[in-house]
């Protein structure tokens, strides 16, 4: 991995962009992107080219600074077949760190502001802040500025016009992998599930559980389904698979609420 000279400073801008809908960008996000010397756009393969297309359209629509350089790159992929999940993630993060370091060295050799548009919010189930820490650990002089974005949690609650929590009660945000392996978390009535590629809700006893599920939140192709899990769970599984085949990719999240209060 190439190292930048110590006297050169990079300001890394991690800009939350929600679902990529221009209406989801805050004024702060727009200003941050305008101020960037370089905007990096990751490509995630042909099956997810729509995600890069959204970022391209955002840049075309809001960037008025002709000095800003837009650079696309192929994002390394995580080995989903690696049985050791955390080891696989660590290897993936290392590969992304190498890619970012190379791009910064090539396109900001004298320092400056480098921006990445982060899906949702950089603080919620996103790796960008961890990659920034790795860059610093490798000796790249770097400061990091985070511009918060609208998260899928907020969009999900808004889509169904529901609160995330019941009165005076907590809720828990987890992943499909943890829900499938650990079951319903203790002490909560509301569970919000992200990063679920296998519809982990199928592993639960559906009795007394209501689900609020949505895919492509904030996009023209947004899909929503809600109801008792015992009644709509199978329908959601089928619709999710159809949507994934149609679009080549899918991003979805859901909220589960149990009728029986947790003790």
- Residue 113's CATH number: 3.40.1010.10
pLDDT in tens, 107-133: 999 999 999 999 999 999 999 999 999
pLDDT of 45 > 80? The answer is: no
Structure confidence at residue 135 (pLDDT): 94
**Mean pLDDT score, 218-247:** 96
The pLDDT, as a whole number, for residue 3 is 52
Domain finish residue from 86, 112, 147: 147
User: In degrees rounded to 5, what are phi and psi of residue 201?
Assistant: -60, -20
CA distance 143 to 104: 13
Q: Looking at residues 216-241, what average pLDDT do you find?
A: 96
Beta strands in 182-260 (DSSP E): 190-194, 209-215, 223-228, 252-258
Is residue 142 within 8 A of residue 12, CB to CB? The reply is yes
Residues 80 and 193 in one domain: no
In the predicted structure, residue 2 carries a pLDDT above the cut 70: no
CATH at 210: 3.30.950.10
Whether the Cβ atoms of residue 65 and residue 39 lie closer than 8 Å to each other: no
Assigned domain for 3 exists: no
What is the token pair recorded at 150?
Answer: 């609208």
Query: What distances in angstroms separate CA 166 from CA 130, 175, 257, one per listed residue?
Result: 32, 21, 9
Residues 37, 14 share a domain: yes
Mean pLDDT throughout 179-185? 97
Lowest mean pLDDT across 156-165, 196-205, 244-253: 244-253
The mean pLDDT of 34-51, rounded to a whole number, is: 82
The predicted pLDDT at position 184 comes to 97
pLDDT of 117 reads 93
Is 222 domain-assigned?
yes
The rounded distance, in Å, linking the Cα atoms of 238 and 232 is: 10
| Beta carbons within 10 angstroms of residue 217's beta carbon | 25
Mean pLDDT, rounded, for 32-44: 91
Same structural domain for residues 125 and 157? no
Is 50 within a domain?
Answer: yes
pTM of the shown model: 0.87
On the question of pLDDT at 84 being above 70, the answer is yes
Task: Check whether 43 has a pLDDT greater than 50.
Answer: yes
Least confident range of 63-67, 166-170, 181-185: 63-67
Q: Which residue segment(s) compose the domain that 213 sits in? A: 152-258
Q: Is the pLDDT of residue 56 over 70?
A: yes
- Asked if pLDDT for residue 5 goes beyond 50, the answer is no
Q: CA nearest 8: which of 79, 105, 96?
A: 105
**Domain end marker among 128, 147, 166:** 147
For residue 203, the model assigns a pLDDT of 97
Q: Is residue 2 part of a domain?
A: no
142 and 48 share a domain?
yes
| Number of domains the chain contains | 2
Kindly state whether residues 25 and 80 are assigned to the same domain: yes
pLDDT on residue 47: 62
Report the interhelical angle of 85-107 vs 128-137 (nearest 10°). Answer: 70
Q: Which residue has the higher pLDDT, 48 or 16?
A: 16
Q: What percent of the chain has pLDDT over 90?
A: 71
- Give a yes or no: residue 66 inside a domain: yes
Report which of residues 224 and 259 the model is more confident about: 224
Distance CA 14, CA 53 (A): 19
Residues 137 and 198 in one domain: no
pLDDT band with cut points at 50, 70 and 90 for residue 160? very high
């Amino acid at each position: 991995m190439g190292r930048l000279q110590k006297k050169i400073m990079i300001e890394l801008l991690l800009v939350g962009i929600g679902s990529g809908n221009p209406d989801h960008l805050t004024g702060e996000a727009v200003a941050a992107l305008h101020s960037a010397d370089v905007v990096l756009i990751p490509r995630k393969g042909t099956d997810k080219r729509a995600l890069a297309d959204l970022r391209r359209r955002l840049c075309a629509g809001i960037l008025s600074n002709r000095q800003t350089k837009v650079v696309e790159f192929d994002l390394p992929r995580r080995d989903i077949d690696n049985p050791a999940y955390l080891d696989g993630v660590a290897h993936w993060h290392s590969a992304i760190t190498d890619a970012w370091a190379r791009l910064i060295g090539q396109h900001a050799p004298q320092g400056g502001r480098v921006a990445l548009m982060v899906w949702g919010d950089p603080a919620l189930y996103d790796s960008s802040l961890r990659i920034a820490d790795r860059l610093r650990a490798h000796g790249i002089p770097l400061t990091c500025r985070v511009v918060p974005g609208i998260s899928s949690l907020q969009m999900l609650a808004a889509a169904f016009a529901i609160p995330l929590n019941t009165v005076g009660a907590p809720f828990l945000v987890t992943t499909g992998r943890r829900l499938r392996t650990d079951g319903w978390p203790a002490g909560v009535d509301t569970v919000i599930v992200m990063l679920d590629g296998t519809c982990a809700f199928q592993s639960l006893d559906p009795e007394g559980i209501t689900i609020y599920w949505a895919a492509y939140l904030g996009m023209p192709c947004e899909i929503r389904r809600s109801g008792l899990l015992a009644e709509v769970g199978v329908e959601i599984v089928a619709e999710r698979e159809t949507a994934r085949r149609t679009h080549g990719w899918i991003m979805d999240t859901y909220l589960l609420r149990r009728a029986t209060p947790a003790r």
